[in-house]
Structures are given as C-alpha cells and as structure tokens.
C-alpha cells in the first residue's frame, strides 16, 4: 500500500498524556515516511471583561511571556522527537481554530490530537479535539487517552 500521509501535525498541550499522543504520531510518520510537525496554541483569554470593569491590568508583556514559555516547552518536546525548529509552531489564539489553520497553511494531511487534554477526562471527546474534528479539512486522529 502507498503511504497514506505525507505531513503529520501533532497538536501538543503539554498535558501528562502528550507523550502518548507524540509517540503515536511518530510511529505513523515513520511508517508513512511522512514529515512530522508540531504546534502549540497559547490560549487567548480576555484581559478585561467590560461587565465587571477592568479587573486586572495585563500588559502586552504577559502575552509575550506566555508565548516565550510555550516556545521553550515546545522546543523541549520537539527535540525529543527530532522535529526541526522549522517544523514547530507556537501561536496565540484559539486551539480548535488555530490548529486547523496551521494544518491548512502547512498542507498537513493528518492532525494528531489526544482525545482529551489538560482539562481532564469528563467527556467522550475534549472540546479542542471536538473542534479540530469538526473543522479540519484533512484526516484527524484522536488518540484515545484514558484516565490514569
Ligand atoms: P482538549 O480537547 O482540550 O481536552 O484536548 C484534546 C487534545 O487537543 C490534546 O490532547 C491536544 O492534543 C490538543 N490540544 C488541546 N489544547 C491544545 C493547545 N493549546 N495547543 C495545541 N494542542 C492542544
């Protein structure tokens, strides 16, 4: 059989299950002789809520600090997988939306997510996994993660 996938994207949230998701993606990449990329989205959060008046003053530096921290974490994880810096993406935004956007921009043909992330295993499928499955224009593998 021909290789099904040429470019596989891991969506990493640095939860305790990340290793399982990454190793599944790596196996698939090896089997398909596919390129492997990895991304992490630093979630945008409202800095102020006008219903409550500005509660916290968060400056632009905080966003940059979060991005910087995300980059550091992703580099560490990507290094263990042998993924080059040119194949790593850390961006601010909404995970469900931006994982799909990066996949489109980079012509990914398989996105690998965990069935659940940091928010725990309360539903069949986490909200990011669900959003990616609904909006992706390519195949999506949701690696089934179980509670420890
Ligand atoms: P969730 O749906 O948030 O429970 O997470 C399910 C999966 O989506 C995780 O196992 C990750 O693969 C991916 N994911 C969640 N949040 C992010 C994020 N901020 N950046 C990249 N991938 C994420």
Structural domain contains residue 99: yes
Structural domain contains residue 2: no
> Residue 10 Cα, ligand 1 centroid: separation in angstroms?
10
Structural domain contains residue 46: yes
Atom of ligand 1 minimally distant from the CA of 115: 6
* Model confidence band, residue 126 (pLDDT cutoffs 50, 70, 90): confident
What is the reported pTM?
0.90
* Model confidence band, residue 63 (pLDDT cutoffs 50, 70, 90): confident
| Token reading at 14 | 């640095």
Please name which of 113, 114, 120 lies closest in space to residue 147, comparing C-alpha atoms: 120
Atom of ligand 1 minimally distant from the CA of 113: 12
Domain with residue 57: its CATH number is 3.40.50.620
- Above 80 in pLDDT, residue 144? yes
> Residue 40 Cα, ligand 1 centroid: separation in angstroms?
8
- Percent of the chain exceeding pLDDT 90 equals 66
Q: 3-class secondary structure for the chain?
A: CCCCCCEEEEECCCCCCHHHHHHHHHHHHHHHCCEEEEEEEEECCCCCECCCECCCCCCHHHHHHHHHHHHHHHHHHHHHHCCCHHHEEEEEECHHHHHHHHHHHCCCCEEEEECCCCCCCCCCCCHHHHHHHHHCCCEEEEECCCCC
Ligand 1, from 42, 113, 118: best to mutate by most atoms within 8 Å of Cβ?
113
Structural domain contains residue 134: yes
Atom of ligand 1 minimally distant from the CA of 120: 4
> Residue 53 Cα, ligand 1 centroid: separation in angstroms?
31
- Percent of the chain exceeding pLDDT 70 equals 81
> Residue 54 Cα, ligand 1 centroid: separation in angstroms?
29
- Residue 16's pLDDT is what? 85
Work out the average pLDDT over 67-92.
Answer: 96
- Residue 80's pLDDT is what? 96
Q: Which domain holds residue 117?
A: 7-144
């Amino acid at each position: 059989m021909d290789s099904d996938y040429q470019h596989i994207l891991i969506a990493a949230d640095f939860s305790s299950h990340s290793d399982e998701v990454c190793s599944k993606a790596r196996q698939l990449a090896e089997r398909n002789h596919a390129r492997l990329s990895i991304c992490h989205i630093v979630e945008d959060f409202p800095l102020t809520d006008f219903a409550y008046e500005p509660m916290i003053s968060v400056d632009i530096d905080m966003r940059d600090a979060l991005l910087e921290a995300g980059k550091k974490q992703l580099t560490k994880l990507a290094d263990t997988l042998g993924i080059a810096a040119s194949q790593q993406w850390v961006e601010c935004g909404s995970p469900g939306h931006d994982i799909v956007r990066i996949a489109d921009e980079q012509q990914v043909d398989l996105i690998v997510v965990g069935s659940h992330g940091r928010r725990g295993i309360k539903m069949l499928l986490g909200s990011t996994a669900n959003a990616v499955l609904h909006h992706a224009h390519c195949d999506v593998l949701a690696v089934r993660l179980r509670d420890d």
